Amino acid sequence: MDWRPWMDAFLPPLLEALPGRVAFVGIQGSFGRGEAGPESDVDLVVVLDALGAAELAVCRGVLEKMPFADRACGFFCDRAALAAWPAFDALQLRLDTLPVYGSLEELLPPMGKETLDEAVRAAASALYHAACHTALFDAQPEAALPALQKAAFFALRLAHCRRSGQYTAARQALLPKLEPEERALLGKDCTLPALMAWARGEMES
């Protein structure tokens, strides 16, 4: 599925249902990275002037009329909530979102170099905890590796951005830019201790 015709069908009724109240609409996730498969979700970013029960009901009504409505997901919020969002978390939204309507930049909280450092540490610490928890408590730890490697991919993108100053969204474009031990984290020989060791290193750096 091409996300552009889907978005072309989604945006007009949304703007009509909430006239003058839509600040931003974008696409992120696998479609935003150009890596979507046949069953990928349509990962939306929608920012309104205000978002409460009435607005949620309106958005749900628009989405329910869309083709492949069951594959729609994403991040919906209002201006005030986004402005108050933790900057390290909002950074990922900024880096990953392709704008379709409006500009996201003016809606985000202030960000600086320390924001990227915090984002890397947060992603690495979450990966460390997940790998440790899996090793201790999962009946089949190896079965959890694909999900952990997905989390590692997101953390590696941020770590590479901190190191190089360049953000690379897509997996295949990122792989040749990584160090060999980093690429191994995304390969078939990845282990839980290796994930934990890399994550700890990024947390400490």
Confidence at residue 182, expressed as pLDDT on a 0 to 100 scale = 98
Mean pLDDT computed over 96-119: 96
74's tokens: 């994403």
Which distant-in-sequence residues (6+ apart) come within 8 Å of 102 by Cβ?
A: 22, 23, 24, 25, 47
- How confident is residue 36, by pLDDT bands cut at 50, 70 and 90? confident
Q: Where in the chain is the domain with CATH 3.30.460.10?
A: 3-107
- Pairing of the two strands 72-78 and 42-48: parallel
Residue 127 has pLDDT above 90, yes or no: yes
Residue 110 has pLDDT above 80, yes or no: yes
Mean pLDDT computed over 51-78: 96
Percent of the chain with pLDDT over 90: 91
Relative orientation angle of helices 192-204 and 113-137, to the nearest 10 degrees: 150
- Which secondary structure element, helix H or strand E, spans residue 162, and what is its range? helix 145-164
Q: If you ran DSSP here, which 8-state letter would residue 84 be given?
A: T
Confidence at residue 35, expressed as pLDDT on a 0 to 100 scale = 87
Residue 113 has pLDDT above 90, yes or no: no
Which distant-in-sequence residues (6+ apart) come within 8 Å of 144 by Cβ?
A: 134, 138
| Phi, psi (degrees; rounded to nearest 5) at 34 | 75, 25
Q: If you ran DSSP here, which 8-state letter would residue 169 be given?
A: -
91's tokens: 């950074």
Q: How remote is the C-alpha of 18 from its chain's centroid?
A: 26
What architecture is the 3-107 domain classified under in CATH? Answer: 2-Layer Sandwich (3.30)
- Which secondary structure element, helix H or strand E, spans residue 100, and what is its range? strand 98-101
What pTM was estimated for this model as a whole? 0.90
